[in-house]
Amino acid sequence: MYRTIGATYLDNNVGQFTVWSPLRKQVNLQIVFPEKRLIKLEKQERGYWQATVDNVTSETHYLYELDGEVLRPDPASHFQPNGVHEASQVVAHNEFNWQDQGWENINLEDLIIYELHVGTFTPEGTFEAIIDRLPDLKDLGVNIIELMPVGQFPGERNWGYDGAYWFAVQNSYGGPEELKKLVNACHQQGIGVILDVIYNHFGPEGNYIRDFAPYFTEKYKTPWGSAINYDDSYSDGVRNFVIQNALYWLDYYHIDGLRLDAIHAIYDFGAKHILKELAEVVDQLSKKKNRKFYLIAESDLNDAKIIDQSEQGGYEIDAQWSDDFHHCLHTLLTQENKGYYQDFTELKSLAKVLKEGFAYSWDYSEFRQRYHGNSASHCPPYQFVVCNQNHDQVGNRMLGERLSQLVSFEQLKIAAGLTLLSPYIPLLFMGEEYGEDAPFLYFIDHGDPDLVKAVREGRKQEFKAFHEVGEPPDAASVETFRKSTLNWQKRKEEKHKTLYQFYQTLIKLRRQIPALAYRKDRNLEVEVNPKGNLLVITRYQKDNQIICLVNFDFNAISYEFNPSQKNWEKQLDSSEEKWLGKGSTLPTKLSQSSTLEIPACSLSLYETK
């Protein structure tokens, strides 16, 4: 049913070239380096063209000739060494010396994800440079990194969502060999790797895929134009393209999981949704390789069907993002209420997210002007990924401000605590662990002047709609890109160092305290204190219990503590001087009912056994 596509190196200088182009009368392979050759491909069933070719090496560059009219790179190119407009290159994947044979993936409920952008994570902006920083990430306590998209995009700098070649590893990052070295090094140090993939659109520049086949349909529209064809005529070839891409990353690059970008822009009304098919195929690979590969969906649908089991009518994706968590937390801390933030201004919304996964589960949304979402309260907590900032929520602000630039140091500690002490899978955005204050801006390096102009105008209109004052930074400027690079030395300076240690402590508590470490079901209760902006979270596992007191208010709040058990011991208090707070007013130990004065803008944690 499924067909391998692209250029497959078969050993002994033999390569097999397969491309899907059902409407073309003739497709030829043109070898352009090291010597020019034209090879006729044989047409096979359902529009696939193929040839097995001698004298092929990892140095072979090639193009496809379509009906004798145009020369195009391979839609399933594994490498574009000279960019999106030039020839594709064969990659001999079987020649890489993997040294991660003993690697087993990390349990889903134990994941602590660290999202990073390869180009701005280090000054060098390469896969190789990340390897030198892995000990720092391990010291922090994260156990899996999430790479923003690495598919070939135009130029040398981009977020990655303008990728025109889904299989080709970005040349300016180091290409296929260096990505494998990074994954190999991660596994050797006990760190997994998730890759952000985009199955809802292709980038606009270097996108020649329409010349090959009906990859798009006019039945639906997305923010990027015509939707990818998952359910119209010839959709079987498109679905195969996606399935092969997912297997390619997991098998050839030993990637541990895929983050599926904006699945709400994937339109498929066929009897079997492409996400369901993808989950089935990845599950088969997991069984074949005897280790679990994960699929994690970014979705704003608030639909439990994405992660539900088949017998419940679900797609069986392993986990999905809960944007509601971020929106609630961000709104409570910043008091911003424009756009979608208007739906998340009340503390009770955050309480509902902590209890159920979503704030909107078929509730009326003022922003959407309709009812939204369904209940996910039956889903285990480890099926949700939450964060207090990420590339979208930071980078889609006009000035790219991180949370560290929007709220106080005390509030940053609240954001960290709620994210890492929640029952969900936490995602940290690179640099947040030490309060990075460099922005993360939107940047591009398109070669098409008209496209650059369109991006500039589009950004202006986007922020005009949000009533932003001023001009957005020029996305095409190299300086905009450079401003977004992390300042690694700051993690050893003043408040930055203290915040980093606070994150380390939170991660240790998450793992060491049984009530926090148990995340297989919703072992928690959440109370919104009527006296003010105080959230009281109780979690338990057998005889172990914790209570987390979070005061969002700028004033202290009194709380009547009536313990059902005795001998409570304080494990964390963000207001203590060791965390650069103003000094704690909370007792170290509690053994009876008492009135507590919860410091302003603070998070504290008590444990009993």
The answer as to whether 111 is a domain residue is no
Distance CA 188, CA 177 (A): 17
The per-residue pLDDT for 456 is 87
The per-residue pLDDT for 208 is 96
**Token pair of 336, please?**
């911003």
Pairing of strands 370-372, 70-72: unpaired
Q: Domain check: are 390 and 452 in the same one?
A: no
Is residue 467 over pLDDT 60? no
Q: Domain check: are 399 and 439 in the same one?
A: yes
Q: Tens digits of per-residue pLDDT, 346-399?
A: 999 999 999 999 999 999 999 999 999 999 999 999 999 999 999 999 999 999
The answer as to whether 352 is a domain residue is no
The answer as to whether 458 is a domain residue is yes
Would you mind telling me the total number of residues written for the chain in this entry?
Answer: 609
Q: Tens digits of per-residue pLDDT, 494-523?
A: 999 999 999 999 999 999 999 999 998 888
370 is in an annotated binding site: no
Is residue 152 over pLDDT 70? yes
Distance CA 295, CA 272 (A): 17
Q: Tens digits of per-residue pLDDT, 298-330?
A: 999 999 999 999 999 999 999 999 999 999 999
Distance CA 215, CA 225 (A): 13
The CATH number assigned to the domain holding 48 equals 2.60.40.10
Across the chain, what does the average pLDDT equal? Answer: 95
Write down the H helix ranges in 267-311: 274-289
The per-residue pLDDT for 458 is 83
596: containing domain: 509-608
129 is in an annotated binding site: no
Asked whether 220 and 227 are in contact (CB, 8 A), the reply is yes
Total of domains in the chain:
4
Q: Domain check: are 390 and 466 in the same one?
A: no
Q: Domain check: are 70 and 148 in the same one?
A: no
* Domain termination residue (choose one: 95, 124, 152): 95
Q: Tens digits of per-residue pLDDT, 207-219?
A: 999 999 999 999 9
Kindly report which listed range (18-22, 187-191, 403-407, 531-535) carries the lowest average pLDDT score: 531-535
The CATH number assigned to the domain holding 571 equals 2.60.40.1180
Q: Tens digits of per-residue pLDDT, 126-136?
A: 999 999 999 99
The answer as to whether 88 is a domain residue is yes
DSSP state of 139: H
Q: Domain check: are 279 and 403 in the same one?
A: yes
Q: Domain check: are 293 and 429 in the same one?
A: yes
Closest CA to 29 of 2, 10, 1, 55: 55
372 is in an annotated binding site: no
**Banded pLDDT at 468 (limits 50, 70, 90):** low
- Percent over 70 (pLDDT), the chain: 99
326 is in an annotated binding site: yes
CA quadruple 568, 572, 578, 583: dihedral sign? negative
Is residue 1 over pLDDT 90? no
The per-residue pLDDT for 562 is 85
**Banded pLDDT at 564 (limits 50, 70, 90):** confident
Q: Domain check: are 433 and 544 in the same one?
A: no
The per-residue pLDDT for 43 is 96
**Token pair of 500, please?**
């980093």
- Percent over 90 (pLDDT), the chain: 91
Q: Domain check: are 537 and 584 in the same one?
A: yes
Q: Domain check: are 495 and 517 in the same one?
A: no
Q: Domain check: are 461 and 419 in the same one?
A: no
Q: Can you point out the beta strands (E) in 117-234?
A: 144-147, 151-152, 165-169, 192-197, 216-222, 225-228
The answer as to whether 581 is a domain residue is yes
The per-residue pLDDT for 321 is 97
Q: Tens digits of per-residue pLDDT, 242-291?
A: 999 999 999 999 999 999 999 999 999 999 999 999 999 999 999 999 99
The answer as to whether 21 is a domain residue is yes
The per-residue pLDDT for 531 is 76
Which residues are tagged catalytic?
261, 298
SS3 245: helix
Q: Domain check: are 520 and 428 in the same one?
A: no
Q: Domain check: are 283 and 417 in the same one?
A: yes
The per-residue pLDDT for 592 is 82
327 is in an annotated binding site: yes
Closest CA to 323 of 339, 341, 335: 341
261 is in an annotated binding site: yes
266 is in an annotated binding site: no
The CATH number assigned to the domain holding 222 equals 3.20.20.80
The answer as to whether 271 is a domain residue is yes
CA quadruple 114, 119, 123, 129: dihedral sign? positive
The per-residue pLDDT for 459 is 84
The answer as to whether 355 is a domain residue is no
Distance CA 389, CA 250 (A): 27
